[in-house]
Structure 1
Amino acid sequence: MKTKKLLFLLLILLNFSCKSQAKKINGVSFVASRDSISNQHINPVLKAQSNYVALMPFGFIKELASPKIIHNTNRQWFGETKNGLLQYAKRFQKEKLSIMVKPHIWVWRGEFTGNIKMDSEEKWNTLENSYREFILTYAKAAENLNADILCIGTELEQFVVNRPAYWQKLIQEIRKVYKGKLTYAANWDEFKRVSFWKDLDFIGIDAYFPLSDKKSPTTAEYELGWKLHKEEVLRVQQQFNKPVLFTEFGYRSVDFNGKEPWDSSNVEGAVNLEAQANALQAIYNQFWKEEWFAGGFIWKWFHSHDKVGGEKNNRFTPQNKPAEELIRKLYGL
């Protein structure tokens, strides 16, 4: 009789352990604003069944060949600074949400950060020192907050490819001041060439893979478009034996949103709420049940929930669209 009870308890514990291990990161990318945040800004995130938020302080450079990063100044929006990060994070943590600190760089006129590249060794050294100061500022802040994850960079392919030794050393320096988990947000066409995945805790991917040329694909058609990309993601995952985290994922509510999902230009197109929802359902179907997949952060979520998104909006946010209801359902599973 005692043996049966013991076996029964072991089965319960095993079941509980499996469920705990299967817990996914169901995150939103929470956009920095001019203002501090309060419960009115947090409640919609909670309603969406999210258990994580990515908070995104910013540094700025003038042009792709400029080596100096301006950051944490009183000329920036509050949410883009260290004090803003601390205020946002502490409010979310009060509601039991976990935090990923994910610093970004903005290049003037919105140039793609993956093309940041210096034209002399002197400039490379200046950039390296400037970036070290920038990222260590937020590594220390992340440690102060006991943040769960720190993303050490976002879509910096030319910097990463051209200066591998610098990044290896930088990761060691970050580890000295921050004790949580580390990732890097590689662009969808960059992640195969990142040399330092073995030194991080997650393989991070901004998952804007092209999936379909159709105007309004079905969920099944989006899933078909994932086949080759998923095989490549799995190949890299198995090579480094690290869980994969979609540091960003999302789709615009617009026609042809699977053709170039990374396109955030202001070119207007016909609103297509169904295409957005179908694409989100497809990415969830393809990845969220995989043991090697850690979860992801939807792009993107604004603090003033009642003033953004909506059925006439063709941008990335799921807010006040059928996609928000879908995210609530999927994140609640």
Structure 2
Amino acid sequence: MKILSVLILYIVAVFQVEVLAQVAAPKAAIHLVTYQAWGFTVDSTPQGQRVRRIIDDSYRLGFRTVIFNFRGHMIGGTGSDIRSTVPAHQQETEERLLLEAVAYAKSLGMTVAFRPILLVVGPRGEFPYVEGKTFWWHGVIKPTQPQLWFANYFKFHERYLRLAARAGAEWYSIGAEMHSMTSGLGERDPQWRLGYPKQWVELIHKARAILGSQTQITYGINYTDQYVLSDGQKTWGGELEQWRYYMTANFQKPANIQHQKDLREFWSLLDVIGIDYYRALASANDRFSNDFATLVRQLEARPQSHASQLDTTLTEMALLDGTLKPLFFQEVGYRSVEKCFLDPSSYEEDGGKYSLVHQGAAWDAFFRAYWAPNWPWMTGMGMWQILVDEDTQAKTDKGFTPLGKEPVESVLKRYLK
């Protein structure tokens, strides 16, 4: 009987997979980032003209959603002080200009998404923040007053939630890569083994009350090469693998059972499963060709194995309640430097040797693994990032932007149009 039940659930999951495949083709989104309250402007100023040109060029390449990113700062890795980077006296200006940028993107036929992100800084604004031997970032934070932390975290989001409702955002991200606060760090850190999924459930309900039904709610689960320890065994996949383990394992302790119940509810309330994909596409010991076609062939196997792991994970989750969740790669990025595909989460804008071939080949390998196979759960991806505060189309730009770069633009046109 148990085998029959599992088989029935599998058939249900497969049926839903087929339905999802018929709904819509994957859609590409572009992340826009600013460090200024006035950054997202489309007025007649030089900044406004630059932002309009960036949105126009993104549309030309096949992007159909603009993701607006908003930064918040958590002061220290154990505190509960969370602040918007936009001072209170500049917030009205930020909101007015943002809504004008939203209207401009929509005039081109694009949709918009909102993604507030939290960064850990030191008491004097130090970033990245290292305290002793601890490198603090948002995936390993350990607030000593979790309830106060969640209250302040919601306050940071509340203003953007109301703006998203006014803007008619397609989706809203309530967080990303916050491993310690969602699933918990598991056996890698026994003192912070379990997270706070119940508080995320409450946060989603608060967000839904503001957003209404028109905006999808998502969260960006980190999918990395970090290993997870479960019963002493290592499995690679970072935060996503930790979710899978805690959602599917058989537990006996009441605390683990309750944690599993809350994490499953967290997962079920998400309209779309977000994935922040920063996994190496090859081994650091390999020798890499500078011929584009050859390099793509060298890189394509690793992301295909990641895609198969994702497919298995999503199917296993679907068997829990018969519901297959759609997946959106909330964040993926490769810089314009050699071997950008080995440590894609590296944000050092000036480091590395300039290479558009390596950047383009990394993207081609990504699309071959996730776009071309028509995975039924695949709804799209968000390309990280274009910083709108400077001329990212300069020929020597080593950042993530694809604009004005070949063969990256040709790769995007081939898959996105």
Per the shorter chain, which TM-score range? 0.7 to 0.9
Equivalent residue for 1:181, pick from 204, 216, 228: 216
Q: Report whether the alignment pairs 1:112 with 2:137.
A: yes
Equivalent residue for 1:282, pick from 354, 365, 375: 365
Cα deviation 1:209-268 (Å, max 9, x = unaligned): 111123536112221112332222112222141111100112112222222211113562
Shift of 1:303: 3.0
**Does the aligned pair in 1 maintain the 2:161–2:207 contact within 8 Å?**
yes
Cα deviation 1:122-170 (Å, max 9, x = unaligned): x212211001112232222211211111111021111223211101111
Further displaced range: 308-317 or 63-72: 308-317
Cα deviation 1:171-205 (Å, max 9, x = unaligned): 12212221221110122221233432221111111
Q: Which residue of 2 is the match for residue 200 of structure 1? A: 270
Aligned mates of 2:365, 2:331 — CA distance in 1: 15
Shift of 1:80: 10
After TM superposition, the score normalised by the length of structure 1 is: 0.85
Name stretches of at least 5 consecutive residues in structure 2 with no aligned partner. Answer: 1-18, 43-47, 122-126, 129-135, 185-194, 224-237, 244-262, 290-294, 319-323
Aligned mates of 2:158, 2:172 — CA distance in 1: 11
Please give the residue correspondences for 1:196-275 in structure 2 after superposition, counting only pairs within 5 Å: 196-212=266-282, 213=284, 214=286, 216=288, 218-238=295-315, 239-240=317-318, 241-266=324-349, 268-275=351-358
Q: Which residue of 2 is the match for residue 298 of structure 1? A: 383
Question: Which amino acid in structure 1 is aligned with residue 168 of structure 2?
Answer: N
Further displaced range: 33-42 or 217-226: 33-42
SS at match of 1:102: strand
**Does the aligned pair in 2 maintain the 1:48–1:324 contact within 8 Å?**
yes
Cα deviation 1:80-123 (Å, max 9, x = unaligned): 954454332222122221111111112221342112211x2xx2
**Does the aligned pair in 2 maintain the 1:41–1:304 contact within 8 Å?**
no
Query: What is the Cα-based RMSD across aligned positions, in Å?
Result: 2.6
**Does the aligned pair in 2 maintain the 1:99–1:149 contact within 8 Å?**
yes
Q: Report whether the alignment pairs 1:51 with 2:47.
A: no
**Does the aligned pair in 1 maintain the 2:21–2:375 contact within 8 Å?**
no
Percent of aligned pairs with the same amino acid: 21
Equivalent residue for 2:108, pick from 89, 95, 98: 95
Q: Report whether the alignment pairs 1:148 with 2:233.
A: no
**Does the aligned pair in 1 maintain the 2:35–2:389 contact within 8 Å?**
no
**Does the aligned pair in 2 maintain the 1:56–1:80 contact within 8 Å?**
no
Q: Which residue of 1 is the match for residue 25 of structure 2? A: 23
Question: Which amino acid in structure 2 is aligned with residue 248 of structure 1?
Answer: E
Shift of 1:49: 1.8
Seen in structure 2, the aligned counterparts of structure 1 residues 144 and 302 have a Cα distance that, compared at 3 Å, is same
Aligned mates of 1:227, 1:83 — CA distance in 2: 43
Aligned mates of 1:76, 1:284 — CA distance in 2: 43
Please give the residue correspondences for 1:126-165 in structure 2 after superposition, counting only pairs within 5 Å: 126-160=148-182, 161=184, 162-165=195-198
Q: Which residue of 2 is the match for residue 10 of structure 1? A: none
Seen in structure 2, the aligned counterparts of structure 1 residues 267 and 312 have a Cα distance that, compared at 3 Å, is closer
**Does the aligned pair in 2 maintain the 1:22–1:291 contact within 8 Å?**
no
Name stretches of at least 5 consecutive residues in structure 1 with no aligned partner. Answer: 1-16
SS at match of 2:300: helix
**Does the aligned pair in 2 maintain the 1:78–1:84 contact within 8 Å?**
no
